Structure 1
Amino acid sequence: MEEFEDQFSESQTDMILICMEYVEDRADRVYVYASCEQGIISSRFFYLINDTHVKCHKVNDALRVGDEQYDVSGNRQSMVLRILCEDIEKIKALCTEYRKEMPTEMKLIYDVKSGRFTAEYKYDLLYTNDDVKTATHMYNEWFEEVKKKKL
């Protein structure tokens, strides 16, 4: 069982690390949204930088005067999203191998200063059974909730 936990944690750590690399380790907090529902794998990420919550393509908006700009090119965003989805695939394969239920949703938060990592998992269908909602809707709802609560 310990091996399952270690591998599960390793994939989550990799998700945080690739998101930190995207902002050159210059973020106060990293948020990763990961979804795996009925064959649909999706992931998104956002940050807290200088007391401002920003989506990955808007990280430069949170910089202070004189701060070095981030590279927010489409290629870099795609690279991060590809790695995040690969990590979700690894977790899915791991859950299958160990006969564990795969979360349909994972919300990962890493606080850089304290080193504190938190994760929230859901196992119910959240959008594939809805005529309107998509994984992007779920991500956007979480982003707005975090912004409002200043989490």
Structure 2
Amino acid sequence: MRRGVFFHILLCIALLPLALGVSSGRASAEETAMAAPYAIRVPKTTDEDFAEHRMAAYVDATFMIPFYAYPAADKAYIYCTDEGDRYYADCFFEVNGKIVKKDQLNAYRRKDDPRIYDTSAEQQAALLKSIAEGMQSVQSFYDYYREPVPTEIRIIYDIKGGSLEAEHSYTEIGRQTKHPALLFVNWMHDIRREHASTEYRRQASARRKGANVLRLP
């Protein structure tokens, strides 16, 4: 009788962790399968795969661009900085061959474009919020791969061509002794000068070709 009682007590002690939901320290195959989707796993990828996945993450930052500027804009230029405690995002566009601010779509749209684009302060704020939320996805991407997040990202989005280009910098913005807004404006001016120079060369080339045509007998 005493032996039966003793065995019953031992059995209860052995089953107590299961009754309380306490793991014995060795996970079952089912428990492992259930926990697998939530485990942190760093995939083994090539540099090409990493760059491709990173570019796909940047697509989130461009989500609202077509709704805001298409078909007036040919390209969008997105500028973002992330210094941990300070974040900045803004954009400008190429419209009808001109580099313009985000509130100038209607002033520079093509003459045959009958649309009136909503460039109100509220819509601009919504656009920048969408870019910022998209860049949070980019940050999550870097965290997933356990890679440092760039302090400065410049994205050129070819809206009509459906392609993206991106440049990254890991230099601390504070060391540049310039506010991100000023860096953004400087980039816009650089693109404007580059665009104007390219357009000038194109027109000059066209003029030379035209002059050559006139010389033909």
TM-score by length of 2: 0.61
> What's the secondary structure of 2:153's corresponding residue?
strand
Relative to total residues, which structure has the larger strand share, 1 or 2? Answer: 1
Q: Distance in 2 between matches of 1:83 and 1:65?
A: 29
CA contact 2:74–2:158 (8 Å) conserved in 1: yes
Counterpart in the other structure of 1:64: 110
> What's the secondary structure of 1:42's corresponding residue?
strand
TM-score by length of 1: 0.85
CA contact 1:47–1:55 (8 Å) conserved in 2: yes
Q: Distance in 2 between matches of 1:15 and 1:124?
A: 21
1:6 positional shift = 6.1
Q: CA RMSD in A?
A: 2.2
With CA pairs under 8 Å and 6+ residues apart, which has the higher RCO, 1 or 2? 1
Relative to total residues, which structure has the larger helix share, 1 or 2? Answer: 2
Counterpart in the other structure of 2:56: 10
1:110 positional shift = 1.8
Counterpart in the other structure of 2:130: 83
Within the candidate set 181, 187, 211, 1:142 is matched to 187
Q: Distance in 2 between matches of 1:51 and 1:5?
A: 30
Q: How many correspondences in the alignment?
A: 149
Gapped regions of structure 2 (runs ≥ 5): 1-42, 199-217
| Pairs within 5 Å for 1:1-151 | 1=43, 8-67=54-113, 68-126=115-173, 128-131=174-177, 133-150=178-195
Counterpart code for 2:184: Y
When Rg is computed on C-alpha atoms for both structures, the one with the higher figure is: 2
